[in-house]
Amino acid sequence: MEEGKKKIILTAIAIVCLVLAGTIVVMRSGSERSGIEGIQRGVMTWVKCNNPDCNADYEMDMKDYFDEYQKAVAPSPTELAPLTCKKCGQKSAYKGEKCAKCGKVFYPASVRGDYPDRCTYCNYSTMEAKKKAKGG
């Protein structure tokens, strides 16, 4: 093929790709909501109370969790803001995670440098198990 025709074809392909990419960006940015508004109702998260007299754990709608978290004031910029526990009424509830193996609710990322989903009760990590299953 002639060098001139190659350049024209490559330029046309590049222009089509740029137009397609621009169209995708415009379509996605206009139709999707971001932040708390983008969270659908019915997506649940676990919450665990850190009050030793309560120690409750329960599921909460993710949108409600983030709404409450936004209103909560963290003790310092490096700490998580506690939510009000629905059982004991104290500001002592934090996001939790339910272990896939033992079923207990624990605080995720409790051990720095370890898998964030490592259960503090039975030491199981779904992420670690998946990695081992893939041979990693």
Query: Residues 92-134: pLDDT tens digits?
Result: 999 999 999 999 999 998 888 899 999 999 999 999 999 999 8
The token pair that represents 82 in the structure block: 């506690």
pLDDT in tens, 9-68: 767 676 765 666 666 665 665 545 556 666 778 889 999 999 999 999 999 998 999 888
How many folded domains does the chain comprise?
3
By residue range, what is the domain housing residue 49? Answer: 33-94
Q: Are residue 38 and residue 87 in the same domain, yes or no?
A: yes
Q: Are residue 103 and residue 89 in the same domain, yes or no?
A: no
Looking at residue 56, its amino acid is A
Say if pTM beats, i.e. exceeds, 0.75: no
Q: Are residue 26 and residue 40 in the same domain, yes or no?
A: no
Residues 80 and 74 sit within 8 Å (Cβ to Cβ): yes
Distance CA 25, CA 20 (A): 9
Burial class (CB in 10 A: 0-12, 13-18, 19+), 31: exposed
Looking at residue 126, its amino acid is T
DSSP state of 79: S
Q: Are residue 61 and residue 43 in the same domain, yes or no?
A: yes
Q: Tell whether the torsion through CA atoms of 101, 103, 106 and 108 is positive or negative.
A: positive
Q: Are residue 114 and residue 70 in the same domain, yes or no?
A: no
